[in-house]
Amino acid sequence: MAGRAPFLPDKIFRYIVEHVVREAPVLAELRQATRKVRHSGMQIGADQGNLMALLVKLMRAKRCLEIGTYTGYSALAVALALPEDGSVVCCDISEEFTSVGKPFWKKAGVEKKIDLRIGPALRTLDEMLAKDKGRFDFAFIDADKPSYWSYYERCLELLRPGGLIAVDNVLWSGEVADPKANDQQTIALRVFNERVNKDERVDTAMLTIGDGVTLALKR
Ligand code: SAH
Ligand code: CA
């Protein structure tokens, strides 16, 4: 099941998404449409979509940033939570994946809030740094794991003080805690977690929702 927390028994996750979490019909439709797409397991769960929408509302965020959009579920969850004049800049390298989401963004009436930038996210972020430093309220990092630290550094610069970064997959199905797991992605996430933990520029909390989400609040 897409977005299933690897640490939660399937029965409990099913109960949560069926009875506890509110998923707007258009988000449910996008989830359904994504089932046919390659790598549909990368999509965040409905519970995490709820959390991100709540954070955006709680912060009264207007300017959001997303690194790793896939078929656009997290972008849609965020866009639906934003006020009319809010926006989310979405970075992804794949036309194939992001084009799945576009009709649903339109159907939800939020396509004007979503500014999709196709290309390597590092390049897009570096372009943004020239004029958008300190202008963002919220960022979601969910693209290629070896680049996480580079994304994090750039997001910190793009955020205002009091802005929040949410980082996905920080537990990597528990591999980060397995000393025998030493592939490139696991190592990158382990190093990332260590660095964030020592980073005095932020206050942090880590949630065991989904595949582990770290929240870092810029001081
Ligand atoms: N947040 C999405 C899931 C993202 S999956 C959701 O809620 O459904 C990770 C995405 O990162 C993929 O779509 C992939 O194309 C993208 N990606 C991988 N490497 C990238 C890079 N260097 N720059 C931008 N996007 C990248
Ligand atoms: Ca993810």
Average pLDDT, whole number, for the chain? 97
Give the residue, out of 23, 47, 92, 138, with the most ligand 1 atoms within 8 A of its beta carbon, to mutate for a pocket test. Answer: 92
For the stretch 6-38, pLDDT in tens is 888 999 999 999 999 999 999 999 999 999 999
What pLDDT sits at residue 2?
67
What pLDDT sits at residue 201?
98
Ligand nearest to the CA of 212: 2
What pLDDT sits at residue 6?
82
Q: Does position 46 have pLDDT exceeding 80, yes or no?
A: yes
- For the chain, the first-to-last Cα distance in angstroms comes to 37
What pLDDT sits at residue 211?
96
Q: Does position 142 have pLDDT exceeding 70, yes or no?
A: yes
Residue 30: CB atoms within 10 A of its CB come to 26
Average pLDDT over residues 81-104: 98
Among 202, 63, 215, CA closest to 141: 215
Instruction: Indicate the pTM of the whole model.
Output: 0.98
For the stretch 145-166, pLDDT in tens is 999 999 999 999 999 999 999 9
Residues with CB under 6 A from ligand 1: 42-44, 68-71, 73-74, 91-94, 97, 120-121, 142-144
| H or E stretch covering 110 | none
Burial label for 39, CB within 10 Å (0-12, 13-18, 19+), is exposed
Centroid of ligand 2 to alpha carbon of 168 (angstroms): 5
Angle (deg, nearest 10), helices 148-158 and 121-129: 20
Q: Does position 49 have pLDDT exceeding 80, yes or no?
A: yes
Give the residue, out of 1, 69, 100, 145, with the most ligand 1 atoms within 8 A of its beta carbon, to mutate for a pocket test. Answer: 69
Residue 102: CB atoms within 10 A of its CB come to 14
Give the residue, out of 4, 42, 169, with the most ligand 1 atoms within 8 A of its beta carbon, to mutate for a pocket test. Answer: 42
Sheet containing 114-118, strands listed edge to edge, beginning at the edge strand earlier in sequence: 114-118, 87-92, 63-67, 136-141, 159-168, 213-218, 202-207
For the stretch 100-121, pLDDT in tens is 999 999 999 999 999 999 999 9
Centroid of ligand 1 to alpha carbon of 54 (angstroms): 22
Residue nearest to atom 21 of ligand 1 (CA): 120
What pLDDT sits at residue 7?
84
Cα 75 to Cα 101: distance, rounded to the nearest angstrom? 9
What pLDDT sits at residue 1?
62
Residue 176: CB atoms within 10 A of its CB come to 21
Q: Cα separations (Å) of 137 from 40, 57, 189, 196?
A: 28, 11, 24, 19
Cα 31 to Cα 163: distance, rounded to the nearest angstrom? 28
